[in-house]
Structures are given as C-alpha cells and as structure tokens.
Amino acid sequence: DRDLMALAIGVAAIIMFIGTGANVMPDVVQALQGLGLPPDRLLSNALLLNIALIIFGLRRYRDLQEEVQERRRAEERARELAETDPLTGCLNRRAIASATDALIAGSVERGEHVGFLMIDVDNFKRINDANGHSVGDNVLQACAARIADLLPPRGLLARLGGDEFACVVPFSAGMPEPVEDFARRITMHVARPVPIGHLELEVTVSVGIARSDAHAEANAQALLHMADIAMYQAKKTGKNNHCWFDPAMEKDLRERHELETALRAAIPAGEFVPFYQQQIDIETGRITGFEMLARWTSARFGHIGPEQFIAVAEEIGVIDDLSEGLIRQALRDARDWDPSITLAINVSPVQLRDPWFAQKLIKLLVEANFPANRLEVEITETCLHENIQQVRTLIASLKNQGMTVSLDDFGSGYSSLAQLQSLPFDRLKIDRSFVSPMSGCTDSATIVRVISSLGEGLGLPITAEGVESAEIARQLRDLGNMHAQGYLYGRPESGSETLARLEDMGLAARPRPAERDQRPPLSDVA
C-alpha cells in the first residue's frame, strides 16, 4: 500500500501538471529565456512543485518497487523452506498433505484416483548407530535421490521426518498397475549398495500403499494412516518389499494396540507371574535348579505366552520394568528352596544393551538377600551378534559378582566356535528344537551328540532342554553327564506348586514358621 501511495502522488502531480502547468509552461520558458514577462508567481511555483513531485514520486515509486520485489523473493524463499525438507530438498509433511488434498479434490472429475506410498528405511536406527549421524544423513539423501529418479510425471515426493518418505501418484481409474510398478521399482532401485566414503552400505526400504478410491472420503490424513499400516505390514513380512493396505490390517493393528495398552497396565497390576520349570541332573535325577518362565493371564485376553508378550514388551520399551518385577518375585520364591537349588532367569537382548543391567541385578539380589552364586543368567545365542564387546563386558561383570552365565538356545543361532571360546560362559543349553525330535530323527540326534562333545572339549557343562520322553532321556544319558529340562520331568509351575513339590521332597529351605502361616493354602492359588 506504500507503493500505491507513491504512485498516487505521482499521478496527482501529473494531473495537476496537465491542468495548470500546460498554461504556464510557455510563459515560464519565455521568461527564463528573458523574452517575456514573468508569469504569475503562484502559477510558476505550482509548476515547479509539480515537476518536483513527479521526479520525487517516480524515484520513490522505483525504490518501493525494488523493496517489494526483494520482499517477494524473501517470501518465496521462506515458503520454499516451509514446504521443503532442508536435508533432502523433498517436500515436507505439510506440503505433501495439502498437495494430496488438492490432487484428490479434482481427481474424480478427471477420471483419476490417487495412490499414496509410505516409504520407510529398514533398520535405519542401526545404520545411524553403527556409522554416525552424518552417514545416516547421506543415506537419507541417497534414498531421496533414488526415489526421485523413479517418480512418475505428476508424482510428488516428501520426507515426512526421520527415515520416512511419502509419494503421491495419480493414476487412471481402474488402473493402479503403474503405482504397483512404481513401488516395486523403488524397493529394487534403493536396494543397490550406497557408496559413502570408503563404505558401501546395504540399504533397503519397506513401502505401504493406500489408494483414494478404496475409501469414500479419503483425504491426505486418511491415506497416510492407511499407507502407514500397510508399511508396518510390509516390515512384518520381511522388509524390502511393498504391501497394499487392506482393512483387515487395521483390525490387526487395533488389536495389537489394545495388547500394548493391556500389557502396560498389567505390569503395575501384577498380572505377570513367575513360573518355574525344574532342571535335573540326568544321571541322578536330582533337582539342580529351576528356570523362571514368565506367565501372563490378562483380564482381557486370557493366557498369552511369553514368546508373544516378551517381544511386545521389548518393542514398547517396558521389558525392563516387566522383568524387574518378575525377578524380584522369583528371588523371594527361591529363598524358600533348599540352598543347593539354583534359579535361572532369562534376559532379553534389549536388557543386555542397558549398561546398568548388571548393577540392577545386583541391587535386586541385595534387596532379596539372595546369594549371587545361586543365580544363573541365561543369554540367548542371538544376542551374540548384536554387540559382542558389550556382551563380553556384561558377562564379565555378572561373573565378577558371583553369578553364573549360560548360553541359551545353543545351535539355533550362528555363534562361531571362536566366539564360544572367547566368551566365558559357564554352561551351554542345547536348543529344544534339536532335543525334542532326537528320538525319531537321526540328524537331530547327531547335532545333539556333536554339541555335547563340543561342550566336553571346551569344558562347558551342558543342559538339554525339551526332554519330552524317557527315550530321549536314555539317549542323552548315553552321551555323558548333563543336566536336563523338559516335560518329562515337569512343566513350568507356579511358585506355590513348586514349593509344595520341594516340600514333598524335603528340599524346602528350613521352615520359617512366622512366614509360613501367612501363606494361602494351595487350592486357592492353583
């Protein structure tokens, strides 16, 4: 509006000049040349004023014009910044959402629909953690460039944040094949090694796709939600692939969400309880210890197995709390057992990453006044290829505190002999997938035999788990002395059932009468 003002001044001056100046001008010119009488003073002043105004007005107008242009350029830049992601130059989340809504708005009239792709880099956190953030940034830039290479003519690419990208691609009604093709080409094109400095990184993406014609009132928000669910599905089915949204997935996701909510609530509600499965010396049949196995009876879902809830608890970051409550209870229970009987606990790979894990365990031991040498920590073989150095340090500090450490599920992972030798385990547990079928399957029997002699060679005692029949027990006994665990000897039982069993065998700790009277009768607990 300031430039309008300047323009108005200019225009007014010109009008006045034409109105008054035209009459006076010849006189003024003549007077200046000394030929005629000077014109009316008032009039000539007005004329000069007008000329000044015109010059001043024009200059002012030009200045303002420049100022405006500059401001416009700055605004343009600001809008660009507000619409694009500075790292990759892609659109950002807000920009692609409004572009998608704009595309959908006119699409049906054009005989079109919109495909929305959600693209997520697989294991990006691992890439970042292992190589640093600047390598992570380079990977994101490379991914963006590779996807942009494939983008069809009216397609748009955005980075939604983190390692998530999105594309919108219009397609002709009834012909979604180009979208499918685009998604397939993205996974293939991105999966080529990314050269970064002297490194060559393996990068893959998972893609979820939603289409605007699948839902009556699909807007950007809804498409993003559906594509996200489909992407999650693509991850679940092995990554490096793509998946179209299907309403059934939404149901799965809702259930999963409900499970997560129930799990969070179950920890303070004390719904997780420790069960115990006995471990015996296969030669004498004597009980040597119990393995604690977590059990959950959810008010909403009923019985849920640890194979399922441990993984969920790890993913939502509550495994630490969950496990702490269970271990605390287990230490309390195990105090009532004969001091010769050990307690074995399982720890998840997520817990092993916690640098304070050993300290936390010690704190629990001290709280429960439970001797460290009766606690055995089972680490699964799959933990070993995560961060061997960290696991090594952890094992060392657990052992320094007097605990024993065993390698669980041995044979199911890929630990090398060298690793096995370099880590100071106290015991090997042969995975039950070899032991349970060994009576009918010579291959399994051979593997068990090899592992057993391996243990002997390394001086590592062995526990065979999954001993389901007397025949298996007989075969194992032939292989030498070892510990055994399995349904043949007993299924996992509650704390009170376990104690009752031990009492019957005379293997309960010296009774402490004051405490014993308060314990509810067995029938109430079972």
Interacting residue ranges for Ca ion, rule: CB under 5 A: 346, 378, 408-409
Q: Which residue in 138, 288, 348, 496 binds ligand C2E (CB under 6 A)?
A: 348
CB of 439 to ligand C2E, least distance (A): 12
Nearest one of 507, 329, 102, 173 to 91, comparing CA atoms: 102
Cα distance between residue 387 and residue 367, in whole Å: 30
- Partner from Ca ion, ligand C2E, none contacting 468, C-beta within 5 to 8 A by type: ligand C2E
- Partner from ligand C2E, Ca ion, none contacting 347, C-beta within 5 to 8 A by type: ligand C2E
Give the side-chain half-sphere CA count within 13 A for 292.
Answer: 29
- Told to check if 336 binds ligand C2E by CB under 6 A, we report no
* H or E segment to which residue 407 belongs: strand 404-410
Q: Which residue in 403, 492, 495, 508 binds ligand C2E (CB under 6 A)?
A: 492
- The closest residue (CB) to ligand C2E is 486
User: Smaller CB distance to Ca ion: residue 122 or 408?
Assistant: 408
CB of 358 to ligand C2E, least distance (A): 16
CB of 159 to Ca ion, least distance (A): 42
- Partner from ligand C2E, Ca ion, none contacting 294, C-beta within 5 to 8 A by type: ligand C2E
Residues 241/207, Cβ–Cβ less than 8 Å: yes
Exposed (0-12), middle (13-18) or buried (19+): which is 71, by Cβ within 10 Å?
exposed
Cα distance between residue 166 and residue 91, in whole Å: 9
Q: CA-based angle 109:112:114, to the nearest 5?
A: 125
CB of 170 to ligand C2E, least distance (A): 48
Positions in 119-178 near ligand C2E (CB under 6 A) = none
Exposed (0-12), middle (13-18) or buried (19+): which is 203, by Cβ within 10 Å?
buried
User: What residue type is assigned to position 244 of the chain?
Assistant: W
Cα distance between residue 61 and residue 10, in whole Å: 8
Distance spanning both ends of the chain, measured CA to CA: 84
Q: Which residue in 305, 339, 424, 440 binds ligand C2E (CB under 6 A)?
A: 305
Q: Which residue in 50, 233, 288, 346 binds ligand C2E (CB under 6 A)?
A: 346
* 3-state percent breakdown (helix, strand, coil) of the chain, nearest 5: 55, 20, 25
User: Smaller CB distance to ligand C2E: residue 294 or 391?
Assistant: 294
Listed in sequence order, the residues at least 6 apart from 411 whose beta carbon sits closer than 8 Å to its beta carbon are 381, 430, 431, 433, 434, 447, 451
CB of 162 to Ca ion, least distance (A): 35
Q: Which residue in 104, 347, 391, 447 binds ligand C2E (CB under 6 A)?
A: 347
Residue that the structure tokens 């990208």 belong to: 165
Residues 484/467, Cβ–Cβ less than 8 Å: yes
CB of 424 to Ca ion, least distance (A): 19
List 347's β-bridge partners, or say none: 379
> Tokens representing 261?
């909510």
User: Smaller CB distance to Ca ion: residue 104 or 361?
Assistant: 361
Binding mask 407-446 for ligand C2E (x = CB under 6 A): -xx----------------------x---x----------
User: Smaller CB distance to ligand C2E: residue 436 or 475?
Assistant: 436
- Told to check if 277 binds ligand C2E by CB under 6 A, we report yes
User: Smaller CB distance to ligand C2E: residue 204 or 329?
Assistant: 329
Secondary structure class of 388 (helix, strand, coil): helix
User: Smaller CB distance to ligand C2E: residue 159 or 432?
Assistant: 432
- Told to check if 463 binds ligand C2E by CB under 6 A, we report no
Footprint of ligand C2E (CB under 6 A): 277, 293-294, 305-307, 310, 323, 326, 346-348, 408-409, 432, 436, 465-468, 486-487, 492
